[in-house]
Structure 1
């Protein structure tokens, strides 16, 4: 198999494995929590996105990793991680907490979608070895990040019958 094929297979199977794991273990627990606690758990995971700076760290990634890919991925990951940290720090100030929850999820999804776009445009998958040890980020970490962003939006928009209202209020039903 070519390196590009191996990379694509690992990326797809990373999504499959995380979807199975997340669906069986994490999502049922998140749905059982109150809205703020569930978002706090997701923000905790995303607070580690500061790790994305490795995409611009010489010696960690190869010299032929396209700079446009590495810089965008690194700085948008950093922004997402910092917004998630701000969400965690403002947990007791709920209005601010919710603003940061929405912000880190929006910035995070844009980051991941644009990273995929840049990777395709710049041919990153044709030579995935240039990611060096950062290779594990797109095949193991990114699928979980995208899945948790989708879960966060789902949890933000769903009806909260027995808990404090989520971001969107729904009219009462009779």
Structure 2
């Protein structure tokens, strides 16, 4: 089996397992929480995205890792981690801007992950950082999808409430 096939198998299997756990245990529990509290829980794994800076450490990755991939993944993850910490603190404080910041975090983080995953030429050079896209990224993707669902429901709910208010 090729390295790329093993990578795809591990990534896919991890996505499946994380999605099953999220569906069976995490989503039902989150449904009992307020929007701010549920989002705060889902932001937690993203506060650890600083681990992506490992792509910049010689010896952890292969010498021929594409520089564009390594820099974009490392600094994109660091920016996402910083946004996640700020979003977490604002969500816990129930700040009005917290929901908007979660949208920003989710969009920046989600498209950053998708961009990194599409760069298959980096796979053979991942070295010991292999665990990041095959284990951590599935957790991040699933929690981001869950955040998108919660944010979309809240947006839809707010729009429905606005429609029901009689005009003066």
2:160 corresponds to 1:171: yes
8 Å contact from structure 2 (residues 46, 84) kept in 1: yes
Give secondary structure in 2 for the equivalent of 1:170.
helix
Distance (Å, rounded) in 1 between the aligned partners of 2:42 and 2:19: 15
- Give the gaps of 5 or more residues in structure 2: none
Aligned counterpart, 1:35: 35
Deviation of 1:167 after TM superposition, in Å, equals 4.6
CA deviation map 1:68-124 (0-9, x unaligned): 11110111111111001011222315212222211111110110111122x13xx22
RMSD: 1.7
Deviation of 1:30 after TM superposition, in Å, equals 1.4
Give 1:6-155 correspondences, 5 Å limit. 6-91=6-91, 92-117=93-118, 119-120=119-120, 123-125=121-123, 127=124, 130-155=125-150
Distance (Å, rounded) in 2 between the aligned partners of 1:75 and 1:17: 28
Normalised TM-score (structure 2): 0.89
Distance (Å, rounded) in 2 between the aligned partners of 1:18 and 1:88: 22
Distance (Å, rounded) in 2 between the aligned partners of 1:31 and 1:59: 43
Distance (Å, rounded) in 1 between the aligned partners of 2:21 and 2:102: 23
Distance (Å, rounded) in 2 between the aligned partners of 1:82 and 1:93: 18
Number of equivalences: 161
Moved over 4 A (4+): none
